[in-house]
Structure formats: C-alpha cells, structure tokens
C-alpha cells in the first residue's frame, strides 16, 4: 500500500477496505483487542512520515525565501560568506546561499545628529553644550554633524558603534577649537572660522580612525551665554555692533553719493582754470604782438605815432568827459551831450583810419611775436617818455612839413 493510503488510513481511523493486510474479512474476524496494537503502529508510522514531509516543505520554503534579497537605491549591503565580508553596492534583486551567506543592509543617505542639543525633547544638553573660551568665559554652543557611510564593510565590522565614535570625536574637536577663541568671536564674528577649523580637525581624526564614515558638514546651530543676565548684556553688545555697521554703511553710501559729484566739480574747475589760463596767455601774446607792432611804427615815425595814440586815447576819454565852468555867480556843470554828435562823427572817421592801421599792425605783429620781451622793455621806456611829453605839452604839436 502506498504512502497516500497510509495517510488516509490515519485520517479515517485505519478501518475498512484500506487496511494494510489487504484482507478486510480477516480483520473483522479477529477480536477487537488484537486489532488495536496494529492500528496504533501504522498510525505512528504514517504520522512520522507526514511530519517529515511537513518539515521538508517548511525548510524548502524558508530556504527559498532566504535566498533572495533586495537593495534600495540609497542602500548598500554587506554579504558575509563563512565570516568573510564583501560589499554589494548595486541596487536591485540579488541572490545568496541560504544559511551560508548573511546580508546586512547599510543606509548610505546623509544622516546627522546634534551635539549639545536634544532635538527630541527640544532642550539643551548641558554636559555637551557648555564650553570654556580662551578668555575664561563660559558659553553654550550646539552643533549639528552630518555624515554618510563611505565604506559599508568598515562601518559594520570596524567598530561596534561608529556613530558614537564620531560623536565623541566631534565633541573633542569642538572643545579643542572653541578653547582657542575668545567669547566675542564665538558668539559673533568667528563662527565661520571656528566651523572650518573643527571640520578640518575632525576630518583628519576620522581618516586616522578609519571607521567607514565620511563627514559631510558640521555647523554651529546656536551659541549664547549660559545665564540670562550675561545673555542680555551680549545682546546689547550685538545690537551696538549692528548699529555700528549700519552707521558705517550709511557713511559709505553718503560718500559714494557725494564723491563722484565732487570729483566732477573738481574736473570742471580744473578745465575752467586751464581754459582761463590759455585765454590769458593768448591775450598776453596778442598784446605783446600789438605793442611790438606799435613800437616798430613808432621807431619809423615817432611824431605821427604819438599823435595817433593821443587821438585814440581822446576818443575813449571824451565821451565820458565832464566840463566844469566856474562862473562869477555860480558853478555850472555842462555835460558833453551837445558835443557828442560832432565828436561822434570825428571819432568815427578817426576810428576807421585807425582800424585800417591796426589791421596792418596786427599782420606785422604775428611775425614779430618772438621778440616781444626785449622790445617790450624798450617800449616801456619810450611810453614813459611819451607820457611825460603829453603831460607837459599844452597843445599837440602839428606835424612838421617835409
């Protein structure tokens, strides 16, 4: 009889046509006492076989489930084969030898923890936060450390608690660096430099320990004095520093607004001065040239030149001349308005003649501008002589007849 029949006999109580002898009429003829031991033996035998089959099925199912594992995109695995670890970095479905290989999954995303602050309870951890500065002041500082797993094998087998080792190293580096700065730098201006120095020191120590973790960043979350009174004083200092910065910024803005305008004004003044200088120099050269030309004409015809200069001077003076007549009874002032018509006609004629003469003198003056200095001195002496002659003469002498 097959195994299936034995199982059915056990389930149905072992009676009927499915008996092991194949002769049901013989079993029925036997007494009831003789039938029970045989049935019990067969039931125990079949039960053992069924239990074995059940165990085998369970074993196969467990082995099948234990031979497959998956790795996520942000994970890596450490597969141990007879105690020898190996890293599996590719994500997806993987197979292993059941009961021989063991798989430990490692999260490779950026993780972090706080130093000096308990984020779950939102309160400061005094033992970690309080530190002493170089000027023997106490401050409360809390940091946040970010890291990731760089080597999963070392992260699993190089140490028992790599995160705790990283925390201890971070606290050591933080206290070492903070103790080199004064309290003002720690609370205000030196935070970036402190973070940089701590990160550099911590990277060097992690490379030395080689625990399979990589430091991503370490930042100062908050820094403040340990007591409320000192905190208020430092806040006042910080407010004053901010006011100082505001004043400096306002002054720089005012300077940036006014300085370009002042520079433009300076340039304008310099340009005007240069223009006036050039104008005066040109006028001086022109005056020297005219004087030299007049002197040349004077050397040629002294009397005619003196008379011409006298007439030109009178043309300029007479229009503004006042004549005072002192009579016997009263003093009468007569303006020269009556003479303006006749004097104007005479002056117009004289000006036309002198203008033609000046044009010729100007053309000659351009050629003789270089000799202005020596001739000017001689002309000055001659001019003084002429002035004396004019002052002493009661009447203008007539030109001599040739």
Question: What tens digit of pLDDT does each residue of 61-77 get?
Answer: 776 667 777 888 888 88
Tokens of 327: 């009579």
Q: Who wins on pLDDT, 232 or 47?
A: 232
Supply the pLDDT for residue 401. Answer: 38
**How much is the mean pLDDT over the chain?**
74
Supply the pLDDT for residue 365. Answer: 40
Helices 372-392 and 302-317, axial angle in degrees (round to 10): 70
> Comparing 50-54, 144-148, 188-192, which segment has the lowest mean pLDDT?
50-54
Supply the pLDDT for residue 225. Answer: 80
Res. 7: pLDDT tops 60: no
The residue-averaged pLDDT of 24-41 equals: 53
Supply the pLDDT for residue 8. Answer: 53
Cα 396–Cα 399–Cα 402 angle in degrees, nearest 5: 165
Task: Give the E-state strand segments of 123-179 in sequence order.
Answer: 123-124, 130-132, 138-149
Q: Are 174 and 200 a contacting pair, CB within 8 Å?
A: no
Supply the pLDDT for residue 144. Answer: 94
For the ranges 41-50, 303-312, 331-340, the maximum mean pLDDT occurs at: 303-312
Q: Who wins on pLDDT, 91 or 341?
A: 91
Q: What is the pLDDT of residues 78-132, one digit of tens each?
A: 888 887 888 777 777 877 777 777 888 888 899 999 998 888 888 888 888 889 8
Res. 361: pLDDT tops 50: no
Supply the pLDDT for residue 320. Answer: 74
Q: How far is CA 168 from the centre of its chain?
A: 35
pTM over 0.75: no
Q: Which residues make beta-bridge pairs with 141?
A: 223
Confidence of residue 165 (pLDDT cuts 50, 70, 90): very high
């Amino acid at each position: 009889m097959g195994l299936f029949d034995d199982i059915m006999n056990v389930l149905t109580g072992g009676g009927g046509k499915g008996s092991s002898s194949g002769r049901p009429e013989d079993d029925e003829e036997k007494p009831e006492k003789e039938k029970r031991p045989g049935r019990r033996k067969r039931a125990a035998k079949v039960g053992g076989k069924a239990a074995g089959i059940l165990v085998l099925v369970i074993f196969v199912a467990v082995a099948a489930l234990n031979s497959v594992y998956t790795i996520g995109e942000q994970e890596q695995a450490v597969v141990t084969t007879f105690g020898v670890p190996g890293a599996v970095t590719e994500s997806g479905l993987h197979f292993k030898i059941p009961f021989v290989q063991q798989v430990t999954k490692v999260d490779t995303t950026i993780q972090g923890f706080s130093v000096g602050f308990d984020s779950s309870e939102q309160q400061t951890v005094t033992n970690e936060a309080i530190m002493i500065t170089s000027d023997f002041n106490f401050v409360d500082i809390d940091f946040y450390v970010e890291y990731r797993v760089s080597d999963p094998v070392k992260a699993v087998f190089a140490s028992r608690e790599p995160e705790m080792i990283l925390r201890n190293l971070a606290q050591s580096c933080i206290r070492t660096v903070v103790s080199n700065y004064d309290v003002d730098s720690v609370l205000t201006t030196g935070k970036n430099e402190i973070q940089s120095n701590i990160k550099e020191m911590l990277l060097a120590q992690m490379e030395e320990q080689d625990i399979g973790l990589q430091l991503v960043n370490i930042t100062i979350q908050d820094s403040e004095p340990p007591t409320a009174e000192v905190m208020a004083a430092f806040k006042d200092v910080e407010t004053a520093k901010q006011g100082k910065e505001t004043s400096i910024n306002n002054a720089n803005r005012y300077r940036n607004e006014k300085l370009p305008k002042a520079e433009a004004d300076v340039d304008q003044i310099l340009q005007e001065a240069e223009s006036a200088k050039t104008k005066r120099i040109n006028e001086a050269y022109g005056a020297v040239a005219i004087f030299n030309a007049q002197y040349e004409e004077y050397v040629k015809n002294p009397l005619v030149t003196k008379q011409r200069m006298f007439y030109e001077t009178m043309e300029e003076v007479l229009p503004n001349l006042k004549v005072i007549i002192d009579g016997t009874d009263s003093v009468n002032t007569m303006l020269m308005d009556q003479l303006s018509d006749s004097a104007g006609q005479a002056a117009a004629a004289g000006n036309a003649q002198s203008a033609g003469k000046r044009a010729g003198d100007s053309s000659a003056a351009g050629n003789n501008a270089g000799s202005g200095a020596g001739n000017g001195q001689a002309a000055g002496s001659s001019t003084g002589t002429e002035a004396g002659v004019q002052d002493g003469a009661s009447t203008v002498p007539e030109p001599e007849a040739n």
